Structure 1
Amino acid sequence: MTIGKMKKYREMLQVPVLRPHLPETVWMTDSRILRMLQTYPSIFIKPNHGSGGSGIIRVKRLGRGFEVRCGSSLKIAGRSSVLKAIRSYRKSGHRYLVQKDLRLEKYHGKIFDIRVYLQKPKSKWIISGMAARVAAPHKFVTNYHKGGHAQPLRKVLMSLFQNDHSKVDACFRKIEQLSITIAETVNKWHPIHELGVDLALDKNGHIWIIEANSHPGHMLFTQLSDHTMIRTIMENKRSMGI
């Protein structure tokens, strides 16, 4: 059984060191959608259960209306019809949450986030893989199944921080610390041995926690020319009988 996004969000919210890195996330209601659209330039509406970027709706404020996107489909709606446009993309029987959109940094003009693959082959959590996930052109999600592709994280951060090694190293340390804390937090409530943590950097360099996935995919790491990470992941899977 997969763990719902809201459950993990609320568990992480209890940890003071993680709280500043969690974007506002609430259960979806019509009134909350409208409130968050007044507060933020854009929002994400996500199914509570789901992975691979499927079913995510982005609503973006325009001059006199809203752009509502799901996958490659797009609708322009006014204030009176925006909820109807959102409903047309929702799947019945699914609970949704509303999350503040983040002004993500870009790599060569495309948004990217960071996938950290954590495993617990023995008594402690270790980081088996870290990579940047770069979105396909004109996409607002970076997932592998939606055309996202892997780039070495250090290469992307070096580009972002203009080859400032000390800034890149500091960012790496922060990513590692946050990821281990997230894994320990989720594991406190659930018996897991693997976790995929998705982090993002905004335009101010702040790190945000997008998602903690208890059934992470590993195919992203096969795209890296250096196969050390995918080998480590697969060796640990074998040792854990996964």
Structure 2
Amino acid sequence: MRKDLTLKKHIPRTKLATKDSLRSMLKQYGMVYVKPSHGSQGRGVMKMQKLGAKYTYQLGSKKSTFTTYEAAYRSIHKEMKGKRYLVQKGIRLLKHKGRRFDIRLMVQRAPQGGWAATGTLGRAAHPGKIVTNGSQGGSIYSTVQVLKSHAGPAGRWKLLKSMDRLGLRTARLLRGISPGIKELGLDFAIDAKLKPWILEVNTVPAVCPFSLLADKSMLRRIVRYGKAYGKTYQLKCTKAKRGK
């Protein structure tokens, strides 16, 4: 994806997490995310910051502070448990009711051919955590709910259209590499300038969060498109919950 110049502008810089790469990216950006290269449901994701002369990181709801980088890295390295991790430029997510959120975009093969953006929703993190996944206590909102305090109708429309274009471009690119792909779930961070950043691309996206929205039109469309290529979905959410 980084070879595509359009997509590259919307992907946070990411490197293999080593002692040196983590130090240099932390120095450059001030805040980074350290995440498993093959993780799922937000497990193992850590947020690390340099605050003055101190280094802090958060895993789940646990926060740790250190006076030296060496001590901080030893602790983080222990949490990695010998697995391959990535370090990614930190994007400071917008907030809804004091909770940081991202936006999930669903992209699917259309029954008539080609690709279509079929639904979006907002995912707000648990107040004490850094990831928005339902399994980590996240809540589901409509995109209008999470964006309305940050952008008016025209601004929201422009942002959502931009995400649609990025999602469709990603799908066409990945389809060329893996012809069997029929659907994607893209997770977007939105920064203070309303720029969308692609955080994750999921090839087996959960659809049940769309069942928590009051408006069921997107859910019906997603299910209909999936049925056209032989897919059925688990629509009962056992982890994510509807935001209040």
TM-score normalised by length of structure 2: 0.88
TM-aligned CA deviation for residue 121 of structure 1? 4.2
Cα distance in 1 between the residues matched to 2:175 and 2:161: 21
Matched, 1:146 2:136: yes
TM-aligned CA deviation for residue 141 of structure 1? 0.8
**Could you tell me which residue of structure 1 aligns to residue 35 of structure 2?**
46
Q: 1:236 aligns with which of 198, 208, 225?
A: 225
Cα distance in 1 between the residues matched to 2:37 and 2:81: 12
Query: Cα deviation per residue 1:183-242 (whole Å; 9 max; x = unaligned)?
Result: 111211112111000111111222111111111111221211112222222233232222
Q: 2:159 aligns with which of 171, 180, 187?
A: 171
Paired residue secondary structure (1:234): helix
One-letter amino acid of the counterpart of residue 15, structure 1: D
Cα distance in 2 between the residues matched to 1:223 and 1:91: 35
One-letter amino acid of the counterpart of residue 146, structure 2: V
Paired residue secondary structure (2:47): strand
- Matched-pair contact (CA < 8 Å) for 2:123–2:140: yes
TM-aligned CA deviation for residue 159 of structure 1? 2.1
One-letter amino acid of the counterpart of residue 210, structure 1: L
Cα distance in 1 between the residues matched to 2:114 and 2:81: 39
- Matched-pair contact (CA < 8 Å) for 1:107–1:160: no
**Could you tell me which residue of structure 1 aligns to residue 72 of structure 2?**
82
TM-aligned CA deviation for residue 101 of structure 1? 0.5
**Could you tell me which residue of structure 2 aligns to residue 186 of structure 1?**
174
Output aligned runs, 1:56-135, within 5 Å. Answer: 56-77=45-66, 78-92=68-82, 94-122=83-111, 123-135=113-125
- Matched-pair contact (CA < 8 Å) for 1:57–1:89: no
One-letter amino acid of the counterpart of residue 184, structure 1: R
**Could you tell me which residue of structure 2 aligns to residue 209 of structure 1?**
198
Cα distance in 2 between the residues matched to 1:89 and 1:229: 39
One-letter amino acid of the counterpart of residue 140, structure 2: A
One-letter amino acid of the counterpart of residue 130, structure 1: T
Structure 2 segments unaligned to the other structure (5+ residues): 232-244
* Runs of 4+ off more than 4 Å: none
Cα distance in 1 between the residues matched to 2:227 and 2:81: 36
One-letter amino acid of the counterpart of residue 156, structure 1: V
One-letter amino acid of the counterpart of residue 152, structure 1: S
The 1:29/1:127 distance shift into structure 2, 3 A limit, reads same
Identity %: 32
Structure 1 segments unaligned to the other structure (5+ residues): 1-11
TM-score normalised by length of structure 1: 0.89
Matched, 1:27 2:16: yes
**Could you tell me which residue of structure 1 aligns to residue 6 of structure 2?**
17
Query: Cα deviation per residue 1:150-204 (whole Å; 9 max; x = unaligned)?
Result: 111123222211xx22222211211111111111112111121110001111112
TM-aligned CA deviation for residue 72 of structure 1? 2.2
CA RMSD of aligned residues (A): 1.5
One-letter amino acid of the counterpart of residue 202, structure 1: D
One-letter amino acid of the counterpart of residue 41, structure 2: G
- Matched-pair contact (CA < 8 Å) for 2:61–2:128: no
**Could you tell me which residue of structure 2 aligns to residue 218 of structure 1?**
207
Cα distance in 1 between the residues matched to 2:219 and 2:182: 16
One-letter amino acid of the counterpart of residue 199, structure 1: F
Cα distance in 1 between the residues matched to 2:81 and 2:192: 33
- Matched-pair contact (CA < 8 Å) for 1:23–1:99: yes
The count of corresponding residues between Structure 1 and Structure 2 is: 228
